Amino acid sequence: MPPPTATVPAVLLRPAAAPGGAGTRADATTPGGPAPEALCLPSPDWLKHLLAVSGPAADLAAFQATAAGPGIIPWRQAAADLAEGWFNRIVAVPVPRTISVAGAHTLADRLRDAVEAWAVADTHAALDLHALIPVPADLLARGPDDPTVIAWLWAHWGTTWPLRHVTRRSDPPAGQGGERLVFRFHAADWSPWPALCAIRDHWPVLRFALQPEYEMPSATEPAPGPTRQHRTTKPASQA
């Protein structure tokens, strides 16, 4: 991992794992090499980050307007297909299970309703990766479980979930001209270095400095075990 206050460089960085993470990440830009396996945990580690963006006021305002969005990936799966998939997963649990077939239908329908309500909610994020580096339309139709989608997110974002808990404030940069925006957010499992590299290339006038804020386990908390496993797919729901 580069120093916490390092500016994103011209080449894709190869960060080491965060404390308690899943290992060393492969370089997604290795020419001619095999596509790296996306590292995404069954239950993501949400890592805190601080991103400072500085530069001329007009360019910062344009970046701020472009970066804002709902903070979700607008998957184009039909709600009925989602409900059917959840039902099939529930009833696939070997008997004896704690839910009946009728109960599984009811639960799947309720999950479908919750997703529909969530999709139309008035959500907003000051730093939305999909607004800055959109997921291609053909991948949106595949849904979040598709291996091709996960590979694309890993290669282009460096994390396979949207950012969460995004906040923004304006700060005058110490001893510098122009202005500065400071974003705080949580990213799943890894820092979004590939996304930052692409964003920097698109906004060459601005300066980007990303600072991961890792929290070491306290003396009273057990350290994560060495046999921790990663997965190559994630649940359909990102709630």
Q: What is the pLDDT along the chain (239 residues), one digit of tens a residue?
A: 343 333 333 223 323 333 333 333 333 333 344 445 777 777 888 999 999 999 999 999 999 999 999 898 888 766 667 778 878 888 888 877 788 888 888 888 888 777 666 655 556 899 999 999 999 999 988 888 889 999 999 999 999 999 999 999 987 765 566 789 999 999 999 999 999 999 999 999 999 999 998 765 454 444 343 322 333 333 333 33
Whether residue 96 sits in one domain with residue 200? no
pTM for the whole structure? 0.62
| Co-location of 146 and 194 in the same domain | yes
Residues 54, 165 share a domain: yes
Same domain, 88 and 164: no
Does residue 133 share a domain with residue 113? no
Please tell me whether residues 171 and 201 are part of one structural domain.
yes
Residues 3 and 49 in one domain: yes
pLDDT of residue 15: 32
Domain count, the chain: 2
Provide the residue range defining the domain that includes 63: 1-13+41-72+125-215
pLDDT at 32: 40
Residues 116 and 188 grouped into a single domain: no
Q: Which residues contact 101 (CB under 8 A, 6 or more apart)?
A: 91
Tell me, yes or no, whether 169 and 205 share the same domain.
yes
171 shares a domain with 142:
yes
Let me know if 200 is exposed, middle or buried by CB neighbors in 10 A (0-12, 13-18, 19+).
middle
Measuring CA to CA, which residue among 49, 67, 56 is closest to residue 6? 49
The pLDDT assigned to 79 comes to 64
Tell which of 122, 156, 188 closes a domain. Answer: 122
Query: Rounded distance, CA 161 to CA 188, Å?
Result: 6
Q: Is 100 a member of any domain?
A: yes
Strand pairing category for 164-171 and 207-213: unpaired
Asked whether residue 94 falls in the same domain as residue 158, the answer is: no
The answer to the question of residue 223 being in a domain is no
Please give the biggest Cα pair distance in the chain.
67
Residue 200 belongs to a domain = yes
Residues 134 and 118 in one domain: no
